[in-house]
Chains A and B, each alone.
Chain A
Amino acid sequence: MPSHRMPSEADIISTVEFNHTGELLATGDKGGRVVIFQREPESKNAPHSQGEYDVYSTFQSHEPEFDYLKSLEIEEKINKIKWLPQQNAAHSLLSTNDKTIKLWKITERDKRPEGYNLKDEEGKLKDLSTVTSLQVPVLKPMDLMVEVSPRRVFANGHTYHINSISVNSDCETYMSADDLRINLWHLAITDRSFNIVDIKPANMEDLTEVITASEFHPHHCNLFVYSSSKGSLRLCDMRAAALCDKHSKLFEEPEDPSNRSFFSEIISSVSDVKFSHSGRYMLTRDYLTVKVWDLNMEARPIETYQVHDYLRSKLCSLYENDCIFDKFECAWNGSDSVIMTGAYNNFFRMFDRNTKRDVTLEASRESSKPRAVLKPRRVCVGGKRRRDDISVDSLDFTKKILHTAWHPAENIIAIAATNNLYIFQDKVNSEMH
């Protein structure tokens, strides 16, 4: 859904998330706005428009704030959105910026009462002398109105910048993680939270790693994982202790000494971690690879996929232009058989875990006319160059796909390319394998 305004920095999409049924898709942007898309129900009358996503609601979630006491500006950029499991007719989601998490309730109104006794249709009080009989107001249909209201504001829980939120499978609690701490909140209680992880050293000069992402296990409400800038994953059990500084499991792969460079530490920092839907595996993304970890094996990942290894020789330039600090996300498909992540030049990659085949696709307006078929792309690194190949040196590093999401049940993906959102659907293989 390209923006019709002149592209500005505020329109840059900063997070994308499907809800649990896939009917709704939420995006957050740098300007603090949330846009929710809804999938149109399939209709026999217009078979071609079945299952497309249209704008459902737009609202301003966060505003820029200025902390006068600390002379610190707090960005309004939405870092993460997480949907709550739906428990009634309303939908709820959590959205967070660097410091404050908010719970939003989204309700529909498609009927309104008509036939009041004391008021007329415009709401003006009636002249009582004209009222001769009593009537019962009835609900009449009206144009659908989507109303969004902030139900809770969870503020002042974090000193550092919030990087993740994750709703627990108990549907009552959620956690929020910043660089050094993770807090556990109850969805109904905003004035306090429990600190469950604290890796801040007593002496900040001893700081060697920070928390980069965290997530609750999809089924076990006592388990969660957090990743670090050193490339490790820690699985924690909240039953073990109130403060989960001691991990239950530590997942870490020994560094390959032959790949050592000035930037080894940067590229091993994990930018995203996601449990598989089954809960058996974890997916991590670092700068050059995605890795699949088995919860039962801590020594190393069971699978490693190269996203763009051709960048390994360009790390110094990427350090210079700050691209090496880009935080790419990763995603599982609904059946955990395919994993997806973004890259540069508006490319995104998919890896089929079963066939071991991978594909590079591009999200761009030229190649994405409605119902066009995406053509696989290839980056050539010297040697034989085919006609449509892109050479490494002509990659556009300003076009980066950091945020992607996969529909929980179908082969529908949402790709955020700077300020544009692309939604691709695999019509041929709509069933998950």
Chain B
Amino acid sequence: MEFKLEAHRIVSISLGKIYNSRGQRGGIKLHKNLLVSLVLRSARQVYLSDPCPGLYLAGSPVPPPQPGEPAAGPPAGWGEPPPPAARAAWPEPETPPGAPPARTAGRAVDAEPAAPGAGDTLQGGEAAATAEAEAAWRRAEIRARGGGRGRRGPRRRRGCAPRGPPRPAPPCACPPGGEAGPGALSCAPRPAKDERPVPPPGCPRKRGAAAGDGPADCPAPGSSPLKKPRRHPEEPAGGAAAEEEEMETGNVANLISIFGSSFSGLLRKSPAGGREEAEAEESGPEAAEPGQICCDQPVLRDINPWSTAIVAF
């Protein structure tokens, strides 16, 4: 049991590091974040390796996924949809959800080092985690349904136009690029007066103004992009257009599998609490420090230890 506590603590610390790394001067350090994600994976494997009554995985112990393998086909009990309340927190893409969500998971936490600017995938740490969960759950659902549109190719050039008119920003959606200065993480909810479209979390990258830049499953039915800041121009480096790339620090299927599995359980377990958790997460960064466990809030008492680690951020 001590191992589980230790693992839990390490997970909390690791999440804190990933969260803090976004505000770092000089951009996200790929090496350090990779190492942190490896520790996170190890801790998670230990945590999941022996079943304990507190686990939300109802009943059957789940074998730890292979390293690097995203949470494939969830075992029975995992596949329930998140409650409608939680779903409404995020603008649903109008296209089939299978399209880019997998990328969001990796992206949102370790997204472009253009931390404040690359608004489309960069969200507050805690909100990102929820988005990943949502995304990962969707992906798992698609797989369960038999494939859908799973695309695993290089997704750098996938462009997704904003889907429809700007929606009221969900909690902690980042503003579109350019508003935040270096090191700033704007996670405050933005009022709808912001005319620029709030990109949905399922959209990994915007590649210029061409909505059709990406695969066919990302059309913007009936909506023309309002103002689409060109956030990812070509790299002048090698010169070749093929080299148009960002410093991709969206690593880690590990993170997807960690957050995906834990969050699907989190949302499933307490539908009413889902909202509260989302709110708790918003205030998380201010309230919690890495390593500390907020156990004194009534809403958290019933939640399994996994979620307290996530909620702390």
Take A72-B27, A161-B29 as given contacts and tell me if A207 and B177 are in contact as well, using a CB distance cutoff of 8 Å.
no
A269 to chain B: closest residue by CB: B35
> Do the beta carbons of B35 and A265 come within 8 Å of each other?
yes
Contact code string B95-114 (vs A, CB < 8 Å = 1, else 0):
00000000000100000111
Q: Which of A208, A212, A316 contacts B10 (CB 8 A)?
A: A316
Report chain B residues within 8 Å CB of A265.
Answer: 35, 38-39, 42
Give the distance in Å from the alpha carbon of A70 to the alpha carbon of B245 in the complex: 11
Q: With A70-B246, A73-B183, A316-B6 given, is the CB distance from A210 to B42 under 8 Å? A: no
Interface residues of A in 317-343 (CB under 8 A from B): 319-320, 322, 325
Q: B27: which A residues are within 8 A, CB to CB? A: 72-74, 98, 161
Whether, in the assembled complex, B252 has its beta carbon less than 8 Å from a beta carbon of chain A, the answer is yes
CB-nearest residue of chain B to A70: B114
Question: Beta-carbon contacts of A220-245 to B below 8 Å, as 1s and 0s?
Answer: 00000000010000000000000000
Q: Which of B15-67 contact A (CB under 8 A)?
A: 17, 25-27, 29-32, 34-35, 38-39, 42-43, 46, 67
Q: Does B237 have its Cβ within 8 Å of any Cβ on chain A? A: yes
A159 adjacent to B182 (CB under 8 Å): no
B25→A179 contact, CB < 8 A: no
Indicate if A204 sits at the interface (CB-CB under 8 A): yes
Check A73/B30 contact, CB under 8 A, given A156-B235, A262-B42, A266-B39: no
A75 sits at the interface (CB 8 A): yes
Contacts of B26 in A (CB 8 A): 73-75, 77, 98, 161
User: In the complex, which residues 163-213 of chain A have their Cβ closer than 8 Å to any Cβ of chain B?
Assistant: 163, 179-180, 192, 195, 200, 202-210, 212
Given contacts A205-B251, A229-B31, A262-B39, contact A195 B238 (CB under 8 A): yes
Contact among B17, B182, B246 with A73 in the assembled complex (CB-CB below 8 Å): B182
Q: Is B299 an interface residue (CB 8 A)?
A: no
Question: Given A73-B26, A156-B236, A159-B235: A205 and B252 within 8 A (CB)?
Answer: yes
Residue contact B68 to A208, C-beta cutoff 8 Å? yes
Distance (whole angstroms) from the CB of A377 to the closest CB of chain B: 30
Asked if B116 is an interface residue, CB under 8 A from chain A, the answer is yes
Whether, in the assembled complex, B115 has its beta carbon less than 8 Å from a beta carbon of chain A, the answer is yes
Q: Which residues of A contact B83 (CB under 8 A)?
A: none
Contacts of B251 in A (CB 8 A): 204-205, 207
For residue B207, give the distance in angstroms from its CB to the closest CB of chain A: 13
Docked Cα-Cα span, A69 to B113, in Å, equals 12
Q: A205-B68, A210-B34 are in contact. Are A66 and B39 (CB under 8 A)?
A: no
Collect the chain B residues with CB atoms within 8 Å of residue A325's CB.
Answer: 32, 35
Within 8 A of A (CB), among B232-284: 232-233, 235-239, 245-253, 256
B173-210 interface bits toward A, Cβ cutoff 8 Å, 1 = contact, 0 = none: 00001101011000000000000000000000000000
B38 and A266 form a contact (CB under 8 A)? yes
- Known contacts A157-B237, A203-B154, A263-B39; A229 and B10 CB within 8 A of each other: no
Q: How far apart are A315's CB and chain B's nearest CB, in angstroms? A: 10
Residues of A within 8 A of B248 (CB): 200, 204
The proximity string for A residues 68-99 relative to B, scoring 1 for CB distances below 8 Å and 0 otherwise, is 01111111010000000000000000000010
Q: Which residue of A70, A158, A163, A320 is within 8 Å of B13 (Cβ)? A: A320
Question: Closest residue to B245 on the A side, CB-wise?
Answer: A159
The number of residues on chain A lying at the interface, defined by a beta carbon within 8 Å of a beta carbon of chain B, is 45
In this assembly, does B145 line the interface, its C-beta being within 8 Å of a C-beta of chain A? no
Which of B46, B112, B252 meets A70, CB within 8 Å? B112
Query: Whole-angstrom distance between the alpha carbons of A192 and B238 in the complex?
Result: 7
Complex CA gap A75/B233 in Å reads: 21
- Flag A306-317 by CB within 8 Å of B: 1 or 0 each: 000000000010
Q: B182 touches which one: A71, A98, A204, A266 (CB < 8 A)?
A: A71
A70-B117, A205-B250, A206-B253 given as contacts; is B31 within 8 A of A212 (CB)? yes
B125 at the interface (CB under 8 A from A): no
B171 contacts A by Cβ under 8 Å: no
> Beyond A160-B247, A205-B68, is A210–B43 a contact (Cβ under 8 Å)?
no
Specify which chain B residues have a CB less than 8 angstroms from the CB of A203 in the assembled complex.
Answer: 152, 154
A207 touches B252 (CB 8 A): yes
A181, B32: Cα distance in complex, Å: 17
Tell me if B118 counts as interface (CB < 8 A to partner A): yes
Contact B39 A179 (CB under 8 A): no
- Is B70 interfacial (CB 8 A cutoff)? yes
Which of B29, B39, B237, B291 is the one whose CB lies under 8 Å from A156? Answer: B237
> Which residues of A lie under 8 Å from residue B247 when comparing CB positions?
70, 72, 159-160
Chain A hits for B113, CB < 8 A: 70, 72
- Residue of B30, B39, B46, B68 near A210 (CB, 8 A) is B30
A376–B238 Cα distance when bound, in Å, is 51
A74, closest chain B residue (CB): B26
Residues of the A chain whose Cβ atoms lie less than 8 Å from the Cβ of B233: 69
| Given A70-B112, A70-B117, A161-B26: A262 touches B46 (CB 8 Å cut-off) | yes
Residues on B with C-beta less than 8 A from A208 are 34, 67-68
Among A77, A212, A262, A265, the one with the most B-chain Cβ atoms within 10 Å of its Cβ is A262
Shortest Cβ gap from A10 to chain B (Å): 12
Interface string of B110-134 (1 = CB under 8 A from A): 0011111110000000000000000
Q: Are A320 and B34 in contact (CB under 8 A)?
A: no
**Nearest CB to that of A322 among chain B residues?**
B17
Known: A71-B117, A205-B256. Is A161-B30 also a contact (CB below 8 A)? yes
- Which residues from B are CB-within-8-Å of A202? 153-154
Residue of A nearest to B16 (CB): A320
Q: Which residues of A contact B106 (CB under 8 A)?
A: 204-205
B252 touches A319 (CB 8 A): no
Q: Chain A nearest CB: distance from B174 CB in Å?
A: 11
Task: List chain B residues, Cβ under 8 A from A66.
Answer: 182
Q: Mark A280-316, 1 if CB is under 8 A from B, else 0.
A: 0000000000000000000000000000000000001
Q: In the assembled complex, which residues on chain B have CB atoms less than 8 Å from the CB atom of A180?
A: 30
User: How many whole Å from A328's CB to the nearest CB in chain B?
Assistant: 14
* Contacting residues, chain B, for A158 (C-beta < 8 A): 237
| Extra A-B contacts (8), CB below 8 Å, given A73-B182, A159-B245, A229-B35 | A73-B25, A159-B235, A204-B106, A207-B252, A210-B34, A262-B43, A320-B290, A322-B17
Task: Tell me the A residues contacting B by CB distance below 8 Å.
Answer: 66-67, 69-75, 77, 98, 156-161, 163, 179-180, 192, 195, 200, 202-210, 212, 229, 262-266, 269, 316, 319-320, 322, 325
Give me 23 A-to-B residue pairs in the complex whose CB atoms sit less than 8 angstroms apart, sorted by A's number: A70-B113, A71-B115, A72-B247, A73-B25, A74-B26, A75-B25, A156-B236, A157-B237, A160-B30, A161-B31, A180-B30, A195-B238, A202-B153, A204-B250, A205-B251, A206-B253, A208-B34, A208-B68, A265-B35, A266-B35, A316-B10, A320-B291, A325-B32
